[in-house]
Every structure is written in structure tokens, then in C-alpha cells.
A and B are shown apart, each in its own frame.
Chain A
Amino acid sequence: GAGVSQSPSNKVTEKGKDVELRCDPISGHTALYWYRQRLGQGLEFLIYFQGNSAPDKSGLPSDRFSAERTGESVSTLTIQRTQQEDSAVYLCASSPPKGSSTGELFFGEGSRLTVL
């Protein structure tokens, strides 16, 4: 596609349920990032993929959070046993291969998660 695509755009869930958020990066972009943005706050780094591997998972807040990427394209962020503090917009971004870019990220429109 032309841009980074994320789904669902909005998700309301009950505390304790599991959720899956999907990201489809720009075609040819080898790097993929997940960030979290709570209301009125900045972007909090969660995880970075280069191809299918995740060299930096340092931002995942707890073991309830996991992410995978298959086929150097689609990525899924899974949050198990959701808590109210998980409520936020989850932003996915991709960037072209090293050497062909200067490191800028292209963001999707985000998935807004509300945990009741």
C-alpha cells in the first residue's frame, strides 16, 4: 500500500481480555517500530524489528506485551490480560533499509485502545 496501515483503528475491550493490533508497513521498508502514546503525552518506544528479528525489545512494559513480524511485512502487537493503564494510541512506523534512508519514520494512523 501507499502508507503504513494499522487495524483496528479503534478497539474497546474489557479489563482482562487479550487484544491484537496489526500493522502493515510500506512495501520495501525493512524496519518496523511500535510506539505507544498515552493521552497528552509523547511517544513511548515499545519494540523495533529489522526484518523478522527484534533486536530491541527494551520498551515492552511487561511480559503481557509481545510482538511478532512475519515475512518482513505485517506485524502484530499482542497485549494479554489488558489493564486500564494500557489505554493509549498504539502507533506503528516503518522506515526504508539502511543506506537508502536517513532514518526517518513513516507512521500509520494508529490503533486507539480503550480498556474499560
Chain B
Amino acid sequence: QKEVEQNSGPLSVPEGAIASLNCTYSDRVSQSFFWYRQYSGKSPELIMSIYSNGDKEDGRFTAQLNKASQYVSLLIRDSQPSDSATYLCAVKGKYGNKLVFGAGTILRVKS
């Protein structure tokens, strides 16, 4: 079992729709959770972090965390073609500083 799992996609949504990206993790004591966006040929950039159960909203982005289910999600409202990218879920354990990344989900927003 991979430590962090994501559906590779591609996930295709029409412009203006809600895109829902999901991630599960195996280490139950993980404490910090991150969503990075990576445009083709570019390096990853942080878009959201979440540390407690529940929802965290930032503009069009909402991160959701359910530690009991070991599940993290990212919702993108009013999706735009510029949101088309690979979204990487990353998890940091309780011990050590290593950030473990999932393989990423490709999102395509069609105008």
C-alpha cells in the first residue's frame, strides 16, 4: 500500500463547475496535510494546508480533512481553465520532517 494515494485522473470538469480531488493516507498518526499545484514543466507550489478535522476555506479552494477515515480532499469552486494542472497531496507524519507526496491528480478544466 502506498503511503499517500490519489486517483491519477485526468479529472475533466467544465468551466465554472466544482472540481473535487481526493487523497487517502496510510499513516494514522500523520498530522499535517498539504495540497500543491504543479503546472506542466514547473515546480510544485503550495495552495492549501490543513491540520485539524473539518473544512478550511481560502478563496475558491476548500480543503477537507477526516483523520478517522484518513482522507483529505480539495474542492475548487468555479473552476477556471487556469486551474488545469496536476494537484499533489502531501502528508507529514508526527515524527520526522519528511513530506510524503502522492502521485498527483491531473485536472483539466474545459472552457
Chain A residues in contact with chain B, CB under 8 A? 31, 33, 35, 41-43, 45, 48, 50, 55-56, 58, 91, 95, 98, 102-110
Instruction: Decide if B78 is an interface residue (CB 8 Å cutoff).
Output: no
* Docked-complex contact A42 and B45, CB < 8 angstroms: no
Bound together, the chains give a CA A43 to CA B104 distance in angstroms of: 9
* Docked-complex contact B99 and A105, CB < 8 angstroms: yes
* Docked-complex contact A48 and B97, CB < 8 angstroms: yes
Bound together, the chains give a CA A42 to CA B36 distance in angstroms of: 11
* Docked-complex contact B103 and A103, CB < 8 angstroms: no
Contact partner, A56, options B34, B88, B97, Cβ 8 Å:
B97
Q: Which residue of A lies closest to B45 (CB)?
A: A107
Bound together, the chains give a CA A42 to CA B89 distance in angstroms of: 10
* Docked-complex contact A31 and B97, CB < 8 angstroms: yes
Considering only CB atoms and an 8 Å cut-off, how many residues of chain B contact the other chain?
Answer: 21
Q: Mark B34-59, 1 if CB is under 8 A from A, else 0.
A: 10000000111110010100000000
Bound together, the chains give a CA A49 to CA B103 distance in angstroms of: 23
CB distance from B20 to the nearest CB of A (A): 20
Bound together, the chains give a CA A57 to CA B3 distance in angstroms of: 17
* Docked-complex contact B88 and A103, CB < 8 angstroms: no
* Docked-complex contact A105 and B43, CB < 8 angstroms: no
Q: Mark B85-108, 1 if CB is under 8 A from A, else 0.
A: 000101010001111111110000
Instruction: Decide if B80 is an interface residue (CB 8 Å cutoff).
Output: no
Contact partner, A42, options B32, B42, B43, B101, Cβ 8 Å:
B101
User: Which residues from chain A contact B92 at a C-beta distance below 8 Å?
Assistant: 103
User: Which residues from chain B contact A102 at a C-beta distance below 8 Å?
Assistant: 32, 49, 51
Contact partner, B43, options A33, A50, A104, A110, Cβ 8 Å:
A110
* Docked-complex contact B46 and A105, CB < 8 angstroms: yes
User: Which residues from chain B contact A104 at a C-beta distance below 8 Å?
Assistant: 34, 46, 49
* Docked-complex contact B88 and A45, CB < 8 angstroms: no
User: Which residues from chain A contact B104 at a C-beta distance below 8 Å?
Assistant: 42
